Amino acid sequence: MKAFIVNLKRRKDRKNQIEAQLPNYFEPYYTSDWEGPLDGKYLDTQAIKNNGFSLFPWEMESDNRWWNRPMNRGEIGCAISHWFCWKKAASLNDPCYVFLEDDVYFSQTLALDLPDIVSRLTRLDAIWDLLFLGRCPQEKVEERDGEFIRPGFSYGSHAYMISRGGIQKIMEAGFPGNLIPVDEFLPAMYMDHPRIDVRECYRKRLRAYSVDPLVCFVEHEFGSDIMDSGLIA
């Protein structure tokens, strides 16, 4: 099972801690092994433009603290990193892929549970697109479908799976031309995003599920490269 892991070249500490957790059946791909504008710390507007990306006009007047300021460097670098992972996955031919951020930690049973979880989901819905392994739900009530949850609006892009069909739908959405935080983009792809401008840019197209209980969680022991980053001048 191929696993794409968002990791910065300067964060070998995080690479070491996630490597120690990975199930032995994972075939890992680390973004730290790739070249490109992946580290928000070194991003500027010219580097973004030169690599074929454009920013969505993100800042708006809102009580939502994630919306009332521009995207920061870390959010932009993270979005680009996830896009590189999706693009790499699109060049392969596996039935599904795992996507992780390097501050994630796993439940003790993930290594045994994940293949069976995927099998059970595929029996429930043979054409599923997105499966959250970890997330931060923002709605109190969500629809249950068998043992899985049909997620409402959720934050968190630290652990999820996408099927081959789901990858193709994402590649067709035009993400490089309208970059938004990746944990806002994923909900926009499976539900009507609460922001009208985002909803008009990205129509829902994914069949999404979440495991319940969650099996992946965020570890902030090493600090947050996203929250600790500043704005592009």
* 37 within domain boundaries: yes
Looking at the domain assignment, is residue 88 inside a domain? yes
- Taking alpha carbons only, the member of 109, 159, 226 closest to residue 4 is 159
**Residue 230 is assigned to a structural domain of this protein:** no
Q: Look at residue 229 and tell me if it is in a domain.
A: no
Phi, psi of 140 (to 5 degrees): -75, -30
pLDDT bucket at 138, cuts 50 / 70 / 90: very high
Whole-number Cα distances in Å, 223 to 12, 32, 50, 229: 13, 18, 30, 11
Minimum mean pLDDT range among 108-117, 133-142, 147-156: 108-117
> What residue numbers bound the domain in which 105 lies?
2-218
**49: its two tokens:** 């433009």
Q: Kindly state whether residue 233 falls inside one of the protein's structural domains.
A: no
Model confidence at 233: pLDDT above 60: no
Q: What is the pTM of this model?
A: 0.93
Detail the DSSP E strand segments found in 90-221. Answer: 96-101, 104-106, 130-137, 143-145, 148-150, 154-163, 208-210, 216-218
Res. 226: pLDDT tops 60? no
What total of structural domains would you count in the chain? 1
Distance between CA atoms of residues 116 and 232, nearest Å: 43
Report residue 231's pLDDT band, with 50, 70 and 90 as the boundaries: low
- pLDDT number for residue 221: 53
pLDDT, position 46? 86
Tell me the pLDDT tens digit for each residue of 29-68. 999 999 888 787 888 888 888 889 999 999 999 998 889 9
pLDDT exceeds 90 at position 175: yes
CATH number of the domain to which 193 belongs: 3.90.550.40
Kindly state whether residue 8 falls inside one of the protein's structural domains.
yes
- Is 128 a member of any domain? yes
Task: Determine whether 111 is exposed, middle or buried from the number of CB atoms within 10 Å of its CB (0-12, 13-18, 19+).
Answer: middle
- For 185-197, how does the pLDDT look when each residue is reduced to its tens digit (9 = 90+)? 999 999 999 999 9
Tens of pLDDT, residue by residue over 146-159, are 999 999 999 999 99
Position 203 in a domain: yes
